[in-house]
């Protein structure tokens, strides 16, 4: 039986629903119009390093190479970070449905959005590395959402994923509600490279679901650079853009 017939059959038995609101939609993996309208897609002009969108054009003529105040004050350990979606109510529901509810029907769409927003991060990359979960959390959740996103992005771009090279050295308390400084302290020493792996001269792309302050990405990037990585970029599905945004 063809894939098309099978999918039509599946839709007839289990009518497709919006992964956020649970209301019927035409095709599996589609969003209800009200959820769709609530999503805020990010675009340039943004900080050349961390991808924080600027609220208005810089007015300097060239939008390339401009950094935000945070990246100037404390340069991150990664080279570039990009995300297609602003973290808000609609994208939060999307991420939580995927992360905690196992709703995976939109993962191909997520990867297409991430590939587009992260085009300059992915170009010429040698490997995609998902941000690892500690084994205890992995056991409780049964899967790592960053590895699922990494796998989908790997299929979309053809860049191989290496899920076992970067490891979580210790479990870290939840980052929710923590200040930038305590997030950084919380993450210090949380990651290590699997024994026997070197990344000399490699261009690697870290993948995660949400970019909040960049503390996790910087902690991973520090270890990857120690293992020889020449370029460490970060592509996430969402990015916190306002200090008032909810955090996980």
Cis peptide before 45 (omega within 30 of 0): yes
> How long a stretch of residues is the chain?
248
State in angstroms the smallest separation of the CB of 61 from Zn ion. Answer: 20
Say which DSSP state 208 is in. E
167 CB burial (10 A radius; 0-12, 13-18, 19+): middle
Cis peptide before 207 (omega within 30 of 0): no
* 3 state DSSP class of 121: helix
* 3 state DSSP class of 239: strand
Q: Which stretch binds Zn ion (CB under 5 A): 23-31, 44-52, 106-114, 173-181?
A: 44-52
CB atoms within 10 A of CB 136: 10
* 3 state DSSP class of 114: helix
Q: How far is CA 84 from CA 27, 87, 91, 155, 242, in A?
A: 22, 10, 11, 18, 15
Q: Output the six-digit token pair for 81.
A: 């970070």
The terminus-to-terminus CA distance of the chain in angstroms comes to: 43
| 125-154 positions binding Zn ion, by CB under 5 A | none
Of 82 and 103, which CB lies nearer to Zn ion in the complex structure? 82
State in angstroms the smallest separation of the CB of 68 from Zn ion. Answer: 3
Of 47 and 199, which CB lies nearer to Zn ion in the complex structure? 47
State in angstroms the smallest separation of the CB of 69 from Zn ion. Answer: 8
Binding mask 56-75 for Zn ion (x = CB under 5 A): ------------x--x----
Of 66 and 169, which CB lies nearer to Zn ion in the complex structure? 66
State in angstroms the smallest separation of the CB of 72 from Zn ion. Answer: 8
Of 82 and 99, which CB lies nearer to Zn ion in the complex structure? 82
State in angstroms the smallest separation of the CB of 93 from Zn ion. Answer: 26
Q: Which stretch binds Zn ion (CB under 5 A): 43-51, 116-124, 196-204, 232-240?
A: 43-51
Of 52 and 159, which CB lies nearer to Zn ion in the complex structure? 52
Whole-number Å distance between alpha carbons of 137 and 141: 6
Q: How far is CA 8 from the centre of its chain?
A: 31
State in angstroms the smallest separation of the CB of 147 from Zn ion. Answer: 26
- Check binding of 49 to Zn ion (CB under 5 A): yes
- Check binding of 50 to Zn ion (CB under 5 A): yes
- Check binding of 47 to Zn ion (CB under 5 A): yes
State in angstroms the smallest separation of the CB of 231 from Zn ion. Answer: 17
Of 49 and 224, which CB lies nearer to Zn ion in the complex structure? 49
Of 48 and 209, which CB lies nearer to Zn ion in the complex structure? 48
CB–CB of 96/79 below 8 Å? no
Site residues (CB under 5 A) for Zn ion?
Answer: 47, 49-50, 52, 68, 71
């Amino acid at each position: 039986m063809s894939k098309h017939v099978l999918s039509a059959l599946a839709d007839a038995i289990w009518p497709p629903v919006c992964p956020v609101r649970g209301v019927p939609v035409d095709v599996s993996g589609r969003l209800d119009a009200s959820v769709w309208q609530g999503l805020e897609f990010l675009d340039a002009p943004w900080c050349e390093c961390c991808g924080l969108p600027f609220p208005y054009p810089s007015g300097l003529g060239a939008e390339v190479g401009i950094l935000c105040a945070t990246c100037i004050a404390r340069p991150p350990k990664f080279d570039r970070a990009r995300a297609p979606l602003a973290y808000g109510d609609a994208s939060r529901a999307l991420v939580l449905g995927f992360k905690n509810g196992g709703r995976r029907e939109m993962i191909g769409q997520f990867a297409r959005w991430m590939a587009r927003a992260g085009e300059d991060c992915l170009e010429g990359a040698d490997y995609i590395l998902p941000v690892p979960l500690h084994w205890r959390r992995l056991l409780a959740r049964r899967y790592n959402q960053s590895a699922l996103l990494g796998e989908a992005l790997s299929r979309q771009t053809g860049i191989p994923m290496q899920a076992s090279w970067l490891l979580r050295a210790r479990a870290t308390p939840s980052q929710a509600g923590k200040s930038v400084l305590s997030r950084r302290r919380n993450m210090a020493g949380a990651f290590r490279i699997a024994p026997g792996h070197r990344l000399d001269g490699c261009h690697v792309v870290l993948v995660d679901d949400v970019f909040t302050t960049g503390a996790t990405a910087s902690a991973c990037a520090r270890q990857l650079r120690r293992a020889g990585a020449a370029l460490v970029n970060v592509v996430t599905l969402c990015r916190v853009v306002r200090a008032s945004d909810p955090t996980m």
